[in-house]
Amino acid sequence: MIRIDWRPLLTRDNLRRDAFAALTTTSVMVPQGVAFAAIAGLPPEYGFFAALLPPIVAAVFGSSWQMVSGPTAAISALVFSSLSGVFEPGSPQFISAAIVLAFMVGVFQLALGLARMGQLANLASTSVLVGFTTGAALLIVLGQLQFALGVPMPRPQDFRAFVSGLMAAVRGADLVAVAVTSTTLLVAVGIRLWRPRLPYYLVALAAGTLAGVLATRGGHPVDTIGSLRTVLPGFEIPALSVDTIRALAQAALAVALVGLLEAVSIARAIAAKTGQNIDPNREFVGQGLSNFVGSFFGSYPVSGSFTRTAVSVDAGAQTPMAAIFGTLALAVALFGLAPLFKHVPIAAVAGVIVLSAFGLLRFDEYHRLLKSSPSDMGIAVITLVSTLLIGLEFAIYIGVLLSLMLFIRWTTKPYVGIGAPDPATPGRIFRNAEANQLPECPQLVMVRINGPLYFGAAGHLRERLQQIEITRPDQPHMLMVMRGIGDLDVTAAEVLEDEAARRRARGGRLHITTRLPSEVERLAQIGVTEAIGEDALHESKGAAIAAILPSLDPSRCATCTARIFRECPTPREVSDAQSA
């Protein structure tokens, strides 16, 4: 399963670039590791456990050359949302459940990848991911207010209690905690604006820590995250049990789906710039293995990281070695920085978390959705509201369900329109006759069908054909121009066969034109070609019209004034043919 397609890229120059990108990414991962672990309700070292081995596994077994995996804000929020209602955040039971959750997520993702179900990533549209990440970001920010204000508050999921608690918290806020959080945010924003090449996350956390130390020395104690209990994870089998698996199954499926959506979206976004081909099935396998293996080394669920991938690519990463080098650099950095974490204020971490959460907000995507598709915009908004009022794990299901309903609605109503050649266009292009008020052949109705023809679309197709028959009783012949009908099934084939029978009963015939060999083969395989006759199946509209015109009623052709086809005979030609 180890891919080797990037080995030729392991040149000295590329390795140098990967090493530099790794150092740059490590400067981001140190503060994010603490922040994401806090979002997930875990001690800080577990954020680093998730950033050590899983990124290596994902890089080696995945599809993308530049994507960096590990803990993310959205997945961390989803882990906390899934477990906090059952276990006490930070407790041994909570930690054990988070590791088991990673194991189960890995199993789900690995199974989907090995079953070559990578196209499932397409079931949830961009609008679902936009709505979900926005909701997760808002919950993350609201959840950190208690640490930024230094006052205990209700969870933001309990909206009414949270609002009432917020008013009391603002009145009783700890000004030192507010100052530490504000310092962290202001330094981060300032560096990002004026010196964006500097590791603003790390510098901001250092500034917040310095502010906390100064406050403590001034006689104002500040709560800190405490010392790391260990730097590197050890091997331990997840505490699996039937009851735990049953309790976490639904959450594991939601986390697995969100993680895959994140990873594939990032991989495709990077590939659009680099030109690399992405294999969703392999990406599923890579993400599944990273979670599965990571669970044996203290990791909670991980996925591809938008922030660290962007930083790594911007720093010049060329191959998966950047992720591997980054893990080694992080391990070395932790040994040096571990004693300092006992001085890091929780309020400073809250500032870093808020900054990371704002990175999830994609207002430009809402603007694009609003302009391009009101239905997609609606899905994004509903998913967003669901994350706030119902819960993150259920919101993703709601979004996917709405996307599927939209997809089904589209596939069950293929386009069925009446066409005719437009003499005002070069080449007499066939256009919608009704919309453009084009004359039609009095004996032949031309129907264009775009979209899949299967059991779900059969009812709509039958209704449209019946409407055409009622509104055009004097046109016994029909030419169907098919595009993208997909894998025609028996139910849709019966509709075509019934139409062919009705056309024969009226003295006409049903003709079909399609250019794709696969569709021609399917029409024959399922019996449609036999029902209409092999001579009624054509490769082009021109060939079909040339074959149909001789079968039209010559007496009607003699008095016809439409003559919309180049092949239409002149009145003299009709008269000569009748005399002969």
DSSP 169-204: HHHT--HHHHHHHHHHHHHHHHHHHH-TTS-HHHHH
Cα-based angle 297, 302, 307 (whole degrees, multiple of 5): 130
Q: Is the dihedral of CA 14, 20, 24, 29 positive or negative?
A: positive
**CA atoms in the 13 A half-sphere facing the CB of 331:** 13
What are 570-580's pLDDT values in tens digits? 666 555 555 55
Q: What is the pLDDT of residue 501?
A: 94
Q: What is the pLDDT of residue 433?
A: 87
Q: What is the pLDDT of residue 574?
A: 55
Q: What is the pLDDT of residue 232?
A: 86
Q: Is the dihedral of CA 393, 394, 399, 403 positive or negative?
A: positive
Q: What is the pLDDT of residue 573?
A: 58
Contact 391, 157 (CB under 8 A): yes
What are 160-218's pLDDT values in tens digits? 788 888 888 888 888 999 999 999 999 999 998 888 778 888 888 899 999 999 998 88
Q: What is the pLDDT of residue 507?
A: 92
List the structure tokens of 62.
Answer: 């995945």
Q: What is the pLDDT of residue 468?
A: 92
User: What is the Cα–Cα distance from 441 to 431, expressed in whole angstroms?
Assistant: 14
Provide the residue-wise pLDDT of the chain in tens; the chain has 580 residues: 455 677 787 888 889 999 998 888 888 888 888 889 999 999 999 999 999 999 999 999 988 888 999 999 889 989 998 998 889 998 999 999 999 999 999 999 999 999 888 777 766 677 888 888 888 888 888 888 888 998 888 878 777 788 888 888 888 888 999 999 999 999 999 998 888 778 888 888 899 999 999 998 888 888 888 878 887 888 999 999 998 999 999 899 989 988 988 888 888 878 877 778 888 889 999 999 999 999 999 999 999 988 888 888 877 888 889 999 999 999 998 888 888 888 889 899 888 888 878 877 777 888 888 888 888 888 889 988 988 888 777 887 888 888 888 888 888 889 999 988 887 777 778 888 888 888 889 999 999 999 888 999 999 999 999 999 999 999 999 999 998 887 789 999 999 999 999 999 999 999 999 888 888 888 999 999 999 999 999 988 888 988 999 899 888 888 888 888 877 776 665 555 555 5
List the structure tokens of 378.
Answer: 């609606």
Q: List beta partners, residue 421.
A: 430
Q: What is the pLDDT of residue 519?
A: 87
Q: What is the pLDDT of residue 71?
A: 93
SS3 content of the chain, % helix, strand, coil (to 5): 65, 5, 25
C-alpha distances out from residue 542 to 422, 427, 546, 567, Å: 14, 11, 6, 9
Q: What is the pLDDT of residue 54?
A: 95
Q: What is the pLDDT of residue 572?
A: 62
Count H helices, E strands: the chain? 24, 8
pTM of the model: 0.75
User: What is the Cα–Cα distance from 311 to 334, expressed in whole angstroms?
Assistant: 20
Q: What is the pLDDT of residue 577?
A: 54
| Cβ contacts of 389 within 8 Å, gap of 6 or more | 159
Q: What is the pLDDT of residue 255?
A: 92
CATH number at 415-579: 3.30.750.24
Rounded to 10 degrees, the C-alpha dihedral 272/277/278/282 comes to: -170
Within its chain, how far is the Cα of 336 from the centroid? Answer: 39
What are 487-531's pLDDT values in tens digits? 789 999 999 999 999 999 999 999 999 888 888 888 999 999 999
Instruction: State the pairing for strand pair 477-483/510-513.
Output: parallel
Cβ-based burial of 491 (10 A; exposed 0-12, middle 13-18, buried ≥19): middle
Domain ranges of the chain: 13-230+241-362, 415-579
